[in-house]
Amino acid sequence: MSSTPGLPETGRTTAALLAELTALTSGDLPTRGGRTAAYVYDSGRPEVRAAATEAYLAMLEVNGLDPTAFPSIVALERSVVGAVASRLGGSGATPGIFTSGGTESIMLAVKAARDARPEVTDPQLVVPVTAHAAFHKAGAYLGLRVVPVPVDRETFRADPAAMAAACDDGGTGGARGTSGSTVLVVASAPSYAHGVVDPVAEIAALAADRGIPCHVDACVGGWLLPWLAEAGAQIPRFDLSVPGVTSLSCDLHKFGYAPKGSSVLLFNDESLRRAAYYACAAWPGYTVVNSTVQSSKGAGPLAGAWATLQALGAAGYRELGRAALSATRRLVKGVEAIDGLHVLGRPDATLVAIGSDSLDLFALADEARTLGFFLQPQFSLDGMPANLHVTLTGVSQAGVDELLAVLAECADRVRPLGPPTPPADLVALLGQVDLTTLDDASFAALLPAVGVTPQGAEPPRMAAVNRLLDALPPSTRELIVTRFLAALYSPYLDSPQPDSTQLDGAQLDSMRLNNPSLEF
Ligand SMILES: *Cc1c(COP(=O)(O)O)cnc(C)c1O
């Protein structure tokens, strides 16, 4: 009998498995405490986490594939969707879908808009350039052309007139049933990158004038902005009650503080929800009818989201919103007081982009990581500068002074470096390598030369890679990160295999020697 890698011959104990998970996750960024300023949303309340965990496990084996077989999921989904709709300008009767996340909500909103206009042969999506990548992904998956429209250079808000000008309404100048190719217009509330809310009312009204639906991407802000408004923040109107808004996405696995895998997509029209659905009877098995991309799916995320909403309640969210808002105000004020740092735009939500004209932010992020804070690098695009992203949640308040102290300390540390210098030699050398034909082993062999530290090195130094990516055009960035992901899941990063590399040693050496910027 031969053994199978990754599969023990005899079953292991739960204790052994959990011990292994503990060891494995010890190298991860912390998911609690607010020092990981992206990706994770900690309510800081053990009893809420316990409710979500227990509810998730209680529904672990239920299959969301068939709501007639498991009516419990219909009840839970109606409860969750109803709560989100009622808070966001709709009611308990608003049509909606519970999805696995923001990307799936956006994917389905785009599918609904496309399928509501079956006569359009070249459907297009008009988005502010600051819109989330999920719209580009939806365009790529669903065969729509994405038209990114520049935003205001100072405020990073979408420009309604430019958005309207980018719409193809078929020249009918209005009236529903337009023959134009634009099937959906998008506004963010707020944008992830800069935390600013687009002028939703103007964009939706201009779209409606042209007979075009408007989706509000409130993935990150939908379950945050209403509580910030209650805490006194000036929040422009953005929800389903705004005339012209036809759909809205709101993630619960962000500021809903629910376990990952939970988002809600709302429609102002029941026929749009039907256009998001998918049915198939063209095979001999069970007739498929799905509300989401997934077919068989766990009910855990739905139960976890429901339990989190019930366990926190409005008062809980109100308190977390208030704390996140005061943390953000402290951070914005504190950042402006640090020599060389500033905040990009004026964030409406609790997401902050920290920019600099004089400091190497990528090096600063590496330094901050050695001091226990993860700040997320965002690259320059279309005249918008590179920056470090910070999402502040309900637990951030307790650590905001420490974060400011870390930012000040790290700014001092990197000040002698000056602004980041684009690694021109490395960019030129990369130009000599055909990234489309290089095999995974050879690509992996390149990585140490561009400064990627081996897996497990603590903490990783990313500045050299980030400077390189920031200096490259977006299409090359996409190519490189795709290659990197494949390399990460290949065996070659653990044990580089120089024999199999398509690059000669001289090429690798010259990359190393010609790139002094790797030494920081
Ligand atoms: C997070 C986010 C998304 C995508 O959500 P996922 O849950 O990561 O798929 C879309 N839009 C905005 C504004 C977001 O912040």
Domain-ending residue, one of 308, 336, 370:
308
Domain-ending residue, one of 267, 286, 308:
308
For residue 438, count other CB atoms closer than 10 A to its CB.
17
**149 and 285: one domain?**
yes
CB 44 within 8 A of CB 394: yes
Residue 101 Cβ < 6 Å to ligand 1 = yes
Task: Tell me the pLDDT band of 520, cut-offs 50, 70 and 90.
Answer: very low
Residue 95 Cβ < 6 Å to ligand 1 = no
Is 337 inside a domain boundary?
A: no
- Give me the number of domains the chain comprises: 2
**303 and 440: one domain?**
no
Is 321 inside a domain boundary?
A: no
Least confident interval from 212-226, 323-337, 351-365, 413-427: 413-427
Question: What are 362-376's pLDDT values in tens digits?
Answer: 999 999 999 999 999
Distance CA 357, CA 276 (A): 45
Say whether pLDDT at 496 is over 60: no
Is 502 inside a domain boundary?
A: yes
**112 and 240: one domain?**
yes
Residue 102 Cβ < 6 Å to ligand 1 = yes
Is 45 inside a domain boundary?
A: no
Is 396 inside a domain boundary?
A: no
What's the average model confidence in pLDDT over 33-45?
93
Is 244 inside a domain boundary?
A: yes
333 token code pair: 């004020």
Domain-ending residue, one of 270, 290, 308:
308
Which ligand 1 atom lies nearest to the CA of residue 263?
A: 7
Is 18 inside a domain boundary?
A: no
Question: What are 249-308's pLDDT values in tens digits?
Answer: 999 999 999 999 999 999 999 999 999 999 999 999 999 999 999 999 999 999 999 999
> 309 CA to middle of ligand 1, Å?
19
Distance CA 395, CA 495 (A): 40
427 alpha carbon, distance to own chain's centre: 28
**95 and 219: one domain?**
yes
Which amino acid would we find at residue 238?
Answer: F
Pocket test for ligand 1, best of 130, 220, 252, 253 (most atoms within 8 A of CB): 220
pLDDT, greater one: 1 or 142: 142
Residue 515 Cβ < 6 Å to ligand 1 = no
Which ligand 1 atom lies nearest to the CA of residue 106?
A: 10
What's the average model confidence in pLDDT over 173-195?
85
CATH number for position 157: 3.40.640.10
DSSP string, 410-452: HHHHHGGG-SPPP-HHHHHHHHHS-TTT--HHHHHHHGGGGTP
DSSP state, 397? G
Q: How wide is the angle at C-alpha 467 spanned by C-alphas 464 and 469, nearest 5°? A: 105
Is 442 inside a domain boundary?
A: yes
**pTM given for the model:** 0.94
Which segments of 84-181 are extended strands (E)? 96-99, 124-128, 145-149
263 token code pair: 């988002």
Task: For residue 270, give its domain range.
Answer: 53-308
Distance CA 52, CA 489 (A): 31
Q: In the beta sheet, which residues pair with residue 378?
A: 387
Task: Tell me the pLDDT band of 497, cut-offs 50, 70 and 90.
Answer: low
